[in-house]
């Protein structure tokens, strides 16, 4: 069974589109800033769908007026982790929302091996299924070539 | 990056549309007046002339900068590319000469001309940039820089950033980060440094890199007595007060005496003097318990309110 038909990780917004250019990312950030969101940058090399919390790269950025500031942080993150997944998150602090409202991947490793489906036979003829990232067989920091 | 294995509707022909002919874009303004009409820069300049008393050299330099920006826009419309001018500035002058006020205006002017995208002003001092322990300074400075992106970063009393007497001071680190961003992200933000003349001179002497990256060194002159009087009247007007009969002459007299005393802080001293006069006016009216106070009574600063100042007492003693 093919678990990775596009050869790419599809999580968050725009993940079925070609990679956004920096200008397009800046436009998205600008949109979020206009709505009053606080942007933050997160990275990981374990992109399992259930791995909800990625590592934060610096603090969330409140009180920014222009996308250039967020892009500065993103570029710093890309420089530090060129072969990791990096995503932008927009936090809406409005009362009763207080949650992430936008999230999209802005950096991917050159090669994305995807996920395998592993089966486990249990009592009787029952099967337990789980999704396993091929990349996570190697230790952290060495997963996507480096 | 991996290209997706599927096709995206409408993705192919999108690319070449962007390269339109360079002339005729941007509305194609050809005359200075057209650019001025588009940017309403004149309104800001007039406001500057009207609201700020004196400061002739400063206003002239702002006019020069605005003219360059307008001409640059015209050149760009005709396809004459030039690098965006460096707009980092340093404001030097004695206390109370209007450095912060002008910085605010500068943000507006640059925004209307389209040289900064958002036109907000972030005013900081050493405390906001320099950390308390190793590794604290860089994130702090960067956070401030990120907030200032698209606007103007105003660093008040910038000479405090550099403390030669303490070799382990983290100010130098903040300066280095600032320099890097000032150089590399010139079209994202404008940095304005402000401080007293003599101390800024030593600051620039010990940081030649900083000095050379700042294109505009503006010196704010002290106000003359006449200008101070004008400023005082505007302040009163803004607070809905006015001078009673004879009070204006007394205030002029007060200024000439005060100018000879030490620690005179120009417009700031004028404001303080007026605030004290308001206090005296208040307690004078407070004393007259049974009088029905009219609007006139409440908004008039009388001669007595000014005469009570210790500045008048000093020469007599």
Cα dihedral A23→A28→A34→A39 (10° resolution): -100
CB contact under 8 A, A65 and B6: no
pLDDT tens sequence across B273-300:
999 999 999 999 988 888 888 888 899 9
Give A1 to chain B, closest Cα distance, Å. 17
Classify residue B28 as left (phi > 0), alpha (psi -120 to 50) or beta.
Answer: left
Give B181 to chain A, closest Cα distance, Å. 10
Closest Cβ opposite residue A64 in set B4, B139, B149 = B149
pLDDT tens sequence across A50-104:
999 999 999 999 999 999 999 999 999 999 999 999 999 999 999 998 999 999 9
Give A62 to chain B, closest Cα distance, Å. 8
CB contact under 8 A, B188 and A19: no
pTM recorded for the entire structure? 0.80
Q: What is the 3-state secondary structure (H, E, C) of B182-237?
A: HHHCCCCCEEEEEECHHHHHHHHHHCHHHHHHCCEEEEECCCCHHHHHHHHHHHHH
Residue B54 CA to its chain's centroid (Å)? 15
Give B253 to chain A, closest Cα distance, Å. 47
CA distance B226 to A96: 57
Taking contacts as CB-CB distances below 8 angstroms, the residues of chain B near A108 are 1-2
Q: Which of B:172-231 have CB within 8 Å of A? A: 185, 188-189
Q: Hey, is the C-beta of A61 within 8 angstroms of any chain B C-beta?
A: yes
Output the pLDDT for position B19: 40
What Rg value do the Cα atoms of chain A yield, rounded? 17
Contact B28, B77 (CB under 8 A): yes
Q: How buried is B316 (Cβ within 10 angstroms: 0-12 exposed, 13-18 middle, 19+ buried)?
A: exposed
CA distance B305 to B297: 13
Output the pLDDT for position B260: 87
Q: Hey, is the C-beta of A58 within 8 angstroms of any chain B C-beta?
A: yes
Q: Hey, is the C-beta of B136 within 8 angstroms of any chain A C-beta?
A: no
Q: What is the pLDDT along chain B (317 residues), one digit of tens a residue?
A: 555 555 555 555 444 434 444 444 445 677 888 877 777 777 878 887 888 888 888 888 888 888 888 888 888 888 887 777 888 999 999 888 888 888 888 888 888 877 888 889 999 999 999 999 999 999 999 999 999 999 999 999 999 998 888 888 899 999 999 999 998 888 889 999 999 999 999 999 988 888 888 988 889 988 988 889 988 998 899 899 989 888 989 999 999 998 888 888 888 999 999 999 999 999 999 888 888 888 888 999 989 888 888 888 765 44
Output the pLDDT for position B7: 57
Give B85 to chain A, closest Cα distance, Å. 19
Q: Which of A23-37, A100-114, B91-105 has the lowest mean pLDDT?
A: B91-105
Copy the structure tokens of residue A68. 């250039």
Closest Cβ opposite residue A72 in set B8, B120, B146 = B146
CB contact under 8 A, A7 and B1: no
Q: Hey, is the C-beta of A22 within 8 angstroms of any chain B C-beta?
A: no
| Helix/strand/coil for A56 | strand
CB contact under 8 A, B4 and A69: no
Confidence of residue A16 (pLDDT cuts 50, 70, 90): confident
Output the pLDDT for position B9: 52
Mean pLDDT of chain A: 90
- Which helix H or strand E contains B103, and what residues bound it? helix B99-112
Output the pLDDT for position B20: 40
Residue of B nearest to A20 (CA): B1
- Which helix H or strand E contains B178, and what residues bound it? helix B171-184
Output the pLDDT for position B15: 42
pLDDT tens sequence across A114-135:
888 899 999 999 999 998 988 8
């Amino acid at each position: 069974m093919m678990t990775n038909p596009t050869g790419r990780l599809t999580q968050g917004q725009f993940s079925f589109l070609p990679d956004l250019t920096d200008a397009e990312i800046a436009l998205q950030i600008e949109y979020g800033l206009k709505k009053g969101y606080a942007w933050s940058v997160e990275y990981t090399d374990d992109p399992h769908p259930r791995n909800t919390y990625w590592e934060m790269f610096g603090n969330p950025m409140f009180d920014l007026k222009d996308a250039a500031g967020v892009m500065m942080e993103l570029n710093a993150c890309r420089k530090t982790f060129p072969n990791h997944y990096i995503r932008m998150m927009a936090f809406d602090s409005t009362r009763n929302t207080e949650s992430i409202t936008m999230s999209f991947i802005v950096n991917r490793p050159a090669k994305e091996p995807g996920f395998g489906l592993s089966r486990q036979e249990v009592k009787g003829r029952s099967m337990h299924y789980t999704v396993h990232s091929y990349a996570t067989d190697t230790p952290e920091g060495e997963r996507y070539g480096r | 990056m991996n290209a997706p294995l599927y096709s995206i509707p409408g993705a192919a022909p999108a690319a070449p549309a962007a390269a339109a002919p360079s002339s005729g874009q941007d509305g194609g303004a050809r005359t200075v007046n057209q650019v001025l009409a588009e940017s309403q820069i004149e309104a800001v300049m007039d406001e500057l002339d009207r609201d700020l008393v004196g400061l002739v050299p400063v206003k002239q330099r702002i006019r020069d900068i605005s003219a360059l920006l307008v001409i640059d826009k015209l050149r760009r419309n005709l396809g004459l590319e030039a690098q965006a001018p460096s707009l980092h500035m340093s404001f030097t002058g004695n206390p109370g000469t209007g450095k912060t006020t002008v910085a605010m205006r500068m943000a507006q002017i640059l925004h209307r001309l389209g040289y900064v995208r958002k036109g907000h002003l972030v005013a900081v001092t050493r405390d906001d940039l320099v950390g308390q322990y190793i590794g604290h300074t860089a994130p702090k400075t960067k956070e401030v820089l990120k907030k200032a992106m698209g606007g103007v970063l105003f660093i008040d009393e910038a000479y405090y950033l550099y403390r030669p007497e303490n070799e382990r001071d983290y100010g130098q680190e903040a300066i280095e980060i600032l320099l890097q961003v000032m150089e590399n992200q010139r079209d994202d933000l404008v940095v304005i440094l402000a401080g007293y003349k003599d101390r800024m001179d030593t600051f620039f002497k010990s940081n030649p890199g900083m000095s050379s990256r700042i294109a505009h060194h503006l010196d704010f002159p002290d106000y003359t007595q006449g200008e101070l009087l004008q400023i005082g009247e505007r302040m009163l007007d803004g607070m809905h007060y006015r001078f009673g009969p004879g009070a204006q002459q007394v205030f002029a007299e007060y200024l000439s005496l005060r100018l000879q005393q030490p620690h005179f802080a120009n417009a700031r001293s004028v404001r303080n003097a007026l605030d004290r006069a308001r206090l005296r006016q208040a307690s004078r009216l407070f004393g007259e318990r049974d009088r029905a106070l009219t609007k006139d009574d409440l908004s008039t600063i009388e001669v007595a309110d000014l005469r009570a100042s210790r500045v008048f007492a000093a020469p007599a003693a």
